């Protein structure tokens, strides 16, 4: 029986399976939507990724990831632009709903967040005509402030939406609960995103207390403190009725368990904690 409303970000089972194996396992569990990471695509080859995903009629809720625009050199910034164009090509080949952008943090040796954010805006502006020409939406994913220095200097949904307003058509946001649940302005920001028609993706997991590793200790839905159902209600009220994409980095727990157990748990917890 198909699992309605759920997508699996393939990072959730990246230690257990290749992209091909993970997609085949998802299909066994009735999950027909996935979001692959580019390193997983490259490991099996784009042709094989297209074969297993599009050949089985699977939905791709996003390709992870483009972005990483800031650099201390003009050559580095151009390399990022070129790589993002390749990422757009891969997302198009897979029929993805969007290319997710993790925009990048401070260039090496810099303490200037404002300059880094300008580089992000310039980088997205540079790839946007190519994305528009290929009809591939770009989803800016704001990351928790703990990642401002190394992964993403865009840290709130409102910051991401400001960029969307500045850049125009073809740019939206990915709302990842792990990164935005703490924001006191979250409700108003989600409503604003809805008015803009800017919500392109909704990612789910949970925030554990305590969190043992800021990158690799995400929780399974229901094991932490995030009001998953409440946030989903806000997102649906804002007009986004798309799939919820489970994305869990868990080096010491879920990546060490059998992949089939992980998928079965995701399905159970999705029904128990995430549906409105």
pLDDT tens across 41-91, in order? Answer: 999 999 999 999 999 999 999 999 999 999 999 999 999 999 999 999 999
* Contact predicate 57/32, CB 8 Å: yes
DSSP annotation of 146 reads G
Domain ranges for the chain: 6-273
Which of 135, 129, 138 is closest to 201 using CA atoms?
138
**Mean pLDDT in residue range 170-190:** 98
Distance CA(111)–CA(129), nearest Å, equals 30
> What pLDDT does 74 receive?
98
> What pLDDT does 73 receive?
98
**E strands along the chain, which residues?**
6-9, 33-35, 59-60, 63-67, 99-102, 138-140, 171-176, 199-204, 244-246
> What pLDDT does 63 receive?
98
- Mean pLDDT over each residue of the chain, to the nearest integer: 98
Q: What are the backbone angles phi and psi of residue 185, rounded to the nearest 5°?
A: -100, 15
> Per-residue confidence at 148, pLDDT binned at 50, 70, 90?
very high
**Mean pLDDT in residue range 190-218:** 98
* pLDDT at 224 exceeding the cut of 90: yes
0.85 exceeded by the pTM?
yes
**Mean pLDDT in residue range 210-233:** 98
> What pLDDT does 204 receive?
99
> What pLDDT does 219 receive?
98
Determine the CATH number of domain 6-273: 3.20.20.150
> Per-residue confidence at 269, pLDDT binned at 50, 70, 90?
very high
* pLDDT at 151 exceeding the cut of 90: yes
> What pLDDT does 1 receive?
79
**Mean pLDDT in residue range 194-204:** 99
**Mean pLDDT in residue range 10-36:** 98
**Mean pLDDT in residue range 22-26:** 98
Distance CA(66)–CA(80), nearest Å, equals 9
Q: Give residue for tokens 């919820």.
A: 244
Distance CA(265)–CA(187), nearest Å, equals 29
> What pLDDT does 9 receive?
99
Which of 158, 92, 84 is closest to 120 using CA atoms?
84
Q: Residues of the chain with pLDDT > 70: what percent?
A: 100
């Amino acid at each position: 029986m198909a699992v309605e409303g759920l997508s699996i970000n393939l990072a959730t089972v990246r230690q257990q399976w290749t992209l091909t194996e993970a997609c085949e396992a998802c299909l066994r569990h009735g999950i027909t939507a996935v979001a692959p990471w580019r390193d997983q695509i490259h490991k099996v080859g784009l042709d094989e990724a297209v074969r297993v995903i599009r050949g089985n009629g699977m939905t791709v809720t996003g390709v992870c990831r483009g972005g990483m625009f800031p650099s201390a050199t003009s050559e580095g910034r151009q390399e990022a632009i070129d790589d993002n164009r390749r990422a757009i090509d891969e997302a198009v080949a897979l029929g993805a709903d969007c290319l997710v952008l993790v925009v990048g943090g401070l260039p090496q040796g810099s303490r200037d967040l404002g300059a880094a954010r300008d580089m992000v805006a310039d980088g997205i502006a540079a790839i946007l005509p190519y994305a528009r020409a290929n009809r591939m939406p770009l989803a800016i994913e704001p990351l928790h402030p703990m990642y401002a220095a190394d992964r993403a200097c865009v840290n709130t949904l409102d910051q991401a939406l400001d960029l969307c307003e500045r850049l125009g058509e073809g740019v939206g946001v990915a709302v990842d609960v792990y990164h935005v649940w703490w924001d006191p302005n979250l409700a108003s920001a989600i409503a604003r995103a809805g008015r803009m028609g800017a919500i392109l993706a909704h990612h789910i997991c949970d925030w554990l207390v305590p969190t043992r590793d800021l990158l690799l200790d995400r929780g399974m839905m229901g094991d932490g403190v995030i009001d998953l159902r409440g946030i989903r209600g806000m997102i649906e009220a804002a007009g986004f009725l798309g799939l919820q994409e489970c994305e869990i980095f868990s080096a010491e727990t879920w990546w060490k368990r059998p992949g089939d157990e992980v998928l079965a748990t995701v399905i159970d917890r999705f029904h128990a904690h995430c549906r409105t």
